[in-house]
């Protein structure tokens, strides 16, 4: 690893969220996911039904989350769960993750957020939502809240192309995402965004073009995930019917793509994740092997699979490739 300290203040070759949090809080901070029982406007009929075509929240919702349980019970179980692996964490961020966590009346949101913040050693909230599920009242409340605790809104943007957003049933466009990101940032609220690489109909060149759009937005942080096709989703059926519409990343190809993307990304943007993982039982691909190889004999017939490789291993491979190429986030940022 290089001995150079980059402009973000550490030696890792990208602007790491882990290091950012350590610098912000003076130590390790762990997110605890809770399920507050929200839904989405493209699911309940307000804008559409069925939700996003790729979505099955059970695939990433931790086992300790149960929307029928009170928040304090979920938080307690989550902290106990994380203490096994993250013993150095003394403070926690409650992460409202499943579905759209601002999709309720303001009084109801205040009740839920304050309940989470009242739990011992909770230092703030991370709120996952959609750009069409906030308004001036909600954002003003979160602005006031951010004066005393850590508040981050994480917007699911997913794609920068309206053709893709329509295809995956998002029921909003990219212009709205840009407007809301600017509005949130201008209020001083920490603003994050989530993007998926590999959505149907997008080429590698189109996905790489995201970088200029993302770099021009006032984002504090981003998460990137490769598309994972989950059992029982409408996207699984779509893949089976039109596999040629999907750009399928091999593990090696994805690492190469991420390196090219990072080199062009605004260095001020903090990276929370480079890829996603779901339990094997949810994977639509039947060709999973413990070695972590792609293992797809006929990619036209099966969704892309990287085997059982975990995120930490993917991250190490990305950092190793950055070092091998002697490159870093923002090297070619203009």
User: How many domains are contained in the chain?
Assistant: 1
Burial 286-309 (b: 16+ CB within 10 A, else e): ebeeeebbbbbeeeeebbbbbbeb
* Integer Rg of the chain from CA: 19
Among 207, 309, 318, CA closest to 271? 318
Whole-angstrom distance, CA of residue 120 vs CA of residue 72: 10
Report yes or no on 324 lying in a domain: no
- Tell me, yes or no, whether 109 lies in a domain: yes
Longest dimension (CA), the chain: 54
User: Domain range holding 49?
Assistant: 17-230+265-278
- Is there a domain that residue 31 lies in? yes
Residue in the block written with tokens 């080429």: 203
Helices (H), 118-218: 136-145, 162-167, 174-186, 204-208, 210-215
CATH code assigned at 51: 3.20.20.70
Axis crossing angle, helix 106-117 with helix 136-145, rounded to the nearest 10: 20
The pLDDT value recorded for residue 288 is: 37
Residue 129 inside a domain? The answer is yes
DSSP-assigned letter for residue 280: G
Looking at the domain assignment, is residue 333 inside a domain? no
* Band (2; pLDDT cuts 50, 70, 90): low
Sorting pLDDT into bands at 50, 70 and 90, what band is 305? low
- C-alpha distance from residue 86 to each of 41, 76, 82, 275, 318 (Å): 35, 15, 6, 21, 23
> For residue range 128-172, what is the model confidence (pLDDT) as tens digits?
999 999 999 999 999 999 999 999 999 999 999 999 999 999 999
Q: Residue 289 falls within a domain, yes or no? A: no
Q: What is the pLDDT of residues 270-295, one digit of tens each?
A: 999 999 988 777 777 543 333 333 33
């Amino acid at each position: 690893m290089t001995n150079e300290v980059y402009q973000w203040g550490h030696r890792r070759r990208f602007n790491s969220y882990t290091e950012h949090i350590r610098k912000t809080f003076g130590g390790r901070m762990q997110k605890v996911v809770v399920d507050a029982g929200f839904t989405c406007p493209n699911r309940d009929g307000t804008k559409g039904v069925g939700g996003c075509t790729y979505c099955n929240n059970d695939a990433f919702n931790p086992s300790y989350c149960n929307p029928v349980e009170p928040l304090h019970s979920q938080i307690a179980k989550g902290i106990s769960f994380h203490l096994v692996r993250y013993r150095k964490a003394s403070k926690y961020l409650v992460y409202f993750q499943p579905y759209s966590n601002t999709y309720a009346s303001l009084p109801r949101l205040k009740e839920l957020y304050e309940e989470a913040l009242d739990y011992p050693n909770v230092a703030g909230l991370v709120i996952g939502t959609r750009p069409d599920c906030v308004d001036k009242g909600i954002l003003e409340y979160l602005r006031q809240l951010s004066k005393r605790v850590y508040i981050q809104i994480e917007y699911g943007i997913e794609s920068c192309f309206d053709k893709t957003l329509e295809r995956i049933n998002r029921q909003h466009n990219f212009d709205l995402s840009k407007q809301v990101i600017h509005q949130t940032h201008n209020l001083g609220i920490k603003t994050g965004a989530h993007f998926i690489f590999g959505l149907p109909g997008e080429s590698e060149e189109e996905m790489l073009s995201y970088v200029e759009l993302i770099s021009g937005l006032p984002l504090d942080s981003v998460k990137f995930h490769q598309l994972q096709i989950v059992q029982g989703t409408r996207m699984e059926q779509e893949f089976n019917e039109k596999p040629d519409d999907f750009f399928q990343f091999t593990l090696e190809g994805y690492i190469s793509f991420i390196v090219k993307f990072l080199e062009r990304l605004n260095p001020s943007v903090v990276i929370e994740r480079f890829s996603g993982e779901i339990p094997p039982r949810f994977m639509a691909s039947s060709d999973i092997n413990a070695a972590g190889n792609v293992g797809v004999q006929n990619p036209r017939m099966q969704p892309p699979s990287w085997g059982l490789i975990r995120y930490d291993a993917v991250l190490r491979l990305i950092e190793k490739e950055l070092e091998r190429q002697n490159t870093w986030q923002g090297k070619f940022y203009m």
